[in-house]
Amino acid sequence: MFNYIVRRILVMIPTLIVISALVFIIIQLPPGDYFTTYMNELQSRGEKVDAAKLEFLKQQYGFDKPMIEQYFVWATGLLVGDFGYSFEFSRPVSEVVGDRLWLSFIVSFTTILFTWMVSFPIGVYSAVRQYSVGDYTLTFFGFLGLATPNFLLALILQWMAFSYFGTSIGGLMDPQYMDAAWSVDKMLSVLEHLWVPVLVIGTSGTAGMIRRLRANLLDELHKQYYITAKAKGLPPGKALIKYPLRMALNPFIADIGNLLPEVISGAAIVSIVLSLPTTGPMLLNALQSQDMYLAGSFLMFLATLTVIGTLISDLALAVLDPRIRIGGGAAK
């Protein structure tokens, strides 16, 4: 087990390195840089630009150095928590980002919890009562949830709340807590607002999860060991929980690896629609204004979150499933 954990964590390191290189390439790719764009903008407004000052700024931030060197400076900075400098805000990225990373994390984490809590009972129910009215109804809603893109769902919900109740469901806390320090009241306010984004982001993931759990459990229910268990007189509940449910649960955990990128993607766009103070809106902004280090750290953060989530799901799977534990993860 210990070996497995160590190996799994070691595999993560090259992945993260490649991801960081990729992120760096992506944020470097746009033609020109922030200063050139900025200068063009100023010029188009008819303002004068001091070329010497521009050169100085470029030198200051190492834009004149070769790519590789820039990457190393950036990547080693990441390790010690120095995310670079945001040009647009003229402040270090870590200051600009502030609570956003945490709030992003909270939203994603709660969404996953929500997905589990909702899809588990529903999935089990519709497998055990296959082809019942309840199963059909839930399957229909599941498909609808799967087909409705979450940002459109956010838009529709927001529109309904706006036109029927006259309130805005956007934001993640009451306005007075916006810049306040963290306190119990602020936490409560966040929790109060959290359900809308969680519901919106979680819908499609939940629908998918329900379908997978249902399919897996159905496969198990048709196997002979379950028939034997029932034949020897185990009460239905016990027969279900003791054997097939455990088998069907495996993919449930393994799926976090698939679910997490989906949730994080969803969170990014939904938070733009609902204007949540998470990473999404700021990432969009940073991408549009070529604020490269800001955009880079957000991308890096989101990717890291996914990688760590996958790691946790792999470890949880190893705890649950002796086959993976004993195999030492050699298969994967």
Residues that bind another protein (CB under 8 A): 14-15, 18-19, 22, 26-27, 29-31, 143-144, 146-149, 151-152, 155-156, 158-159, 162-163, 168, 170, 260-262, 264-266, 268-269, 272-273, 283-284, 287-288, 290, 295, 298-299, 302-303, 306-307, 310
Residue 193 Cβ, how far from another protein at the closest point, in Å?
A: 16
Closer to another protein by CB, 77 or 170: give it.
170
Match 């010690």 to its residue by tokens: 80
Nearer to another protein by Cβ, of 92 and 257: the residue is: 257
Shortest CB 49 distance to another protein, Å? 19
Residues in Cβ contact with 9 at an 8 Å cutoff, skipping those fewer than 6 apart? 311
CA distance 176 to 80: 33
| b/e per residue 132-165 (b: at least 16 CB within 10 A) | eeebeebbeebeebbeeebbebbeebbeeeeeee
Nearer to another protein, 68 or 147 (CB): 147
CB closer to another protein out of 156 and 231: 156
Token pair in block for residue 42: 């100023």
Separation between Cα atoms, residue 187 and residue 61, nearest integer Å:
38
Distance in Å, CB of 27 to another protein, minimum: 7
- The amino acid present at 86, given as its one-letter code, is S
Please report, for residues 21, 192, 300, the alpha-carbon distance to residue 110 in angstroms, rounded to integers and kept in the order given. Answer: 30, 13, 21
Distance of alpha carbon 102 from alpha carbon 176, whole angstroms: 19
DSSP string, 230-293: HHTT--HHHHHHHTHHHHHHHHHHHTHHHHHHHHHHHHHHHHHHTT-SSHHHHHHHHHHTT-HH
- Tokens matching residue 214: 């249902």
Helix, coil or strand: residue 10: helix
Residue closest to 205 by CA, chosen among 115, 138, 276: 115
As measured in angstroms, the least distance from the Cβ of 156 to another protein is 7
| Cα gap 315→303, rounded to integer Å | 18
Give the shortest CB-52-to-another protein separation in angstroms.
Answer: 27
CB of 241 to another protein, least distance (A): 28
Beta carbon of residue 306, minimum distance to another protein (angstroms, whole number): 5
Closer residue to another protein, CB minimum distance, 250 or 265: 265
Minimum Å gap between C-beta 47 and another protein is 20
Whole-number minimum distance, CB 206 to another protein, in Å? 15
Q: Which is nearer to another protein, 249 or 302 (CB)?
A: 302
* For another protein, the closer CB: 240 or 329: 329
Pick between residue 199 and residue 273 the one whose CB is nearest to another protein: 273
* Contact (CB, 8 A) for 93 and 84: yes
Beta carbon nearer to another protein, 172 or 239: 172
